[in-house]
């Protein structure tokens, strides 16, 4: 599938890792490495959307397209909507949101999500993978998603869902066989026309309590398809420890 656009929102501010998009990984700023990984997909275009000239300059230095966007966006999705408008994308164009702190992002995962989104009637598509242990299942920092029979999201939560009432009444150190526990992966594909709609949606109470922006889409009655991968993708960079881990992987030959 070709013709989709990858947009990488990149803000300079970060509470846990200052100047994170510009952090050096194997001689490249992290955001440049993310863009190069995304460019290995079948995307027709890869664009970094930033609010700071230092990020735009770093991209220009390494031949990565970047657009300056407003500094007051409440979310990365709002920034995507601005980019879609600036680029004049047609309503049916698939826009894949790749986070700027995913320097090891798998291009094949981007392609799979974009291909699904292009064929789907849902305005939004995302990824998940099976949860295999209770540590992740009961961890509120691990976002879970429950889907219907067609693979469309019913709900996202930091709580352990679906909750196996009877099995967990006896033990919580193992997941019961067959429990459809899925960890959400924060890679999204949108129809460009829906991005304009998203900016008109009011925040949802569920979104506020769970601190999960995607619940706004469900609250207002729009669908999110969930594509399930067999395995978890490489972890992104949230902390200095994460950054050192990725640096070591790149030094050892990771793409």
Q: And the tokens for 138?
A: 């009961």
Q: Cβ atoms within 10 A of the Cβ of 198, count?
A: 20
Q: Which class for 90: exposed (0-12), middle (13-18), buried (19 or more C-beta within 10 A)? A: exposed
What is the pLDDT, as a whole number, of residue 75?
A: 80
Q: Per the omega criterion (within 30 degrees of 0), is the bond before 15 cis?
A: no
Strands (E), 45-181: 45-50, 66-68, 94-97, 124-130, 144-147, 153-157
Q: And the tokens for 166?
A: 């009877």
What is the pLDDT, as a whole number, of residue 72?
A: 83
Task: List, for the chain, all residue ranges whose pLDDT scores fall below the cut of 50.
Answer: 1
pLDDT (tens digit, 9 = 90+) per residue, 156-176? 999 999 999 999 998 899 999
**Cβ–Cβ < 8 Å for 65, 105:** no
What is the pLDDT, as a whole number, of residue 252?
A: 87
What is the pLDDT, as a whole number, of residue 239?
A: 87
CATH superfamily assigned to domain 5-252: Spore Coat Polysaccharide Biosynthesis Protein SpsA; Chain A (3.90.550.10)
Q: What is the dihedral of CA 126, 131, 160, 223, to 10 degrees?
A: 20
Backbone CA torsion sign across 180, 184, 188, 191: positive
**Residue ranges of the alpha helices (H) in 22-131?**
30-39, 53-61, 76-87, 107-119
What's the pTM value of the predicted model, to 2 decimals? 0.92
Q: Cα separation of 213 and 203, whole Å?
A: 8
What is the pLDDT, as a whole number, of residue 73?
A: 81
Q: And the tokens for 254?
A: 């990771």
What is the pLDDT, as a whole number, of residue 94?
A: 97
Q: Cα separation of 89 and 97, whole Å?
A: 15
**Cβ–Cβ < 8 Å for 8, 41:** no
**Residue ranges of the alpha helices (H) in 106-204?**
107-119, 134-137, 165-170, 192-198
User: What is the end-to-end Cα distance of the chain in Å, rounded?
Assistant: 23
3-state secondary structure (DSSP) of residue 230: coil
What is the pLDDT, as a whole number, of residue 2?
A: 56
**Cβ–Cβ < 8 Å for 188, 97:** yes
Residue showing tokens 């997909």: 41
């Amino acid at each position: 599938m070709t013709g989709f656009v990858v947009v990488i929102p990149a803000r300079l501010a970060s509470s846990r890792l200052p100047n994170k998009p510009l952090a050096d990984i194997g001689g490249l700023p992290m955001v440049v490495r993310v863009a190069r990984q995304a460019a290995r997909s079948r995307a027709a275009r890869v664009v970094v959307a930033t609010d700071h000239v230092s990020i735009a300059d770093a991209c220009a230095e390494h031949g990565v397209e970047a657009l300056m966007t407003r500094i007051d966006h409440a979310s990365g999705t709002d920034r995507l909507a601005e980019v879609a408008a600036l680029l004049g994308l047609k309503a049916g164009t698939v826009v894949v949101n790749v986070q700027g702190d995913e320097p090891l992002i798998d291009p094949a995962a981007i392609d799979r999500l974009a291909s699904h989104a292009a064929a789907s009637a849902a305005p939004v598509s995302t990824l998940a993978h099976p949860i295999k242990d209770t540590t992740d299942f009961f961890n509120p920092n691990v976002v879970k998603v429950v889907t219907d029979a067609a693979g469309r999201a019913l709900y996202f939560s930091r709580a352990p869902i679906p909750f196996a009432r009877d099995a967990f009444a006896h033990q919580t150190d193992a997941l019961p066989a067959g429990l459809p526990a899925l960890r959400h992966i924060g890679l999204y594909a949108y129809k460009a026309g829906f991005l304009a709609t998203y900016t008109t949606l009011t925040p949802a109470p569920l979104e506020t309590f769970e601190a999960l922006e995607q619940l706004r889409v469900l609250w207002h009655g729009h669908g999110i398809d969930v594509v399930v991968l067999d395995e978890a993708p490489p972890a992104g960079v949230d902390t200095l420890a994460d950054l050192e881990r990725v640096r070591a992987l790149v030094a050892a030959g990771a793409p």
